[in-house]
Amino acid sequence: MEGYAEKKILGERLVCVDIVYTDRIERLMITGDFFIHPESCIMEMEKAMAGVPLSMNDMELRDIINNVTESHKAKLIGISAKSIVAAIREATAKKVS
């Protein structure tokens, strides 16, 4: 299945998620009106999420994102791991035809 969502949490910028999934995340693309330094970290984050079961709770998904950010000494500017997870949840709740 495929999903797409645009999420803007109060006080944060827009994050968009384009996802292909079954019971796991098969492919994930994270875009939006935010910054991440170094920029290459977003690709590492997308790779780290590939294969992750959607049955994981939100805290576990945020931990994966935060671990990638920390291991690359990266900084999310304008969004948080929470907003990325919220967009993933919204994108997997509705199907794109």
Residues in Cβ contact with 44 at an 8 Å cutoff, skipping those fewer than 6 apart: 68, 72
pTM of the model: 0.92
Quote the domain boundaries for residue 41: 2-93
User: What whole-number distance in Å separates Cα of residue 15 and Cα of residue 83?
Assistant: 7
Count CB-CB contacts under 10 A for residue 79: 23
Using one digit for the tens of pLDDT, what is the confidence trace for 30-55?
Answer: 999 999 999 999 999 999 999 999 99
The domain total for the chain is 1
We report the CATH number of the domain holding residue 17 as 3.30.390.50
Using one digit for the tens of pLDDT, what is the confidence trace for 56-86?
Answer: 999 999 999 999 999 999 999 999 999 999 9
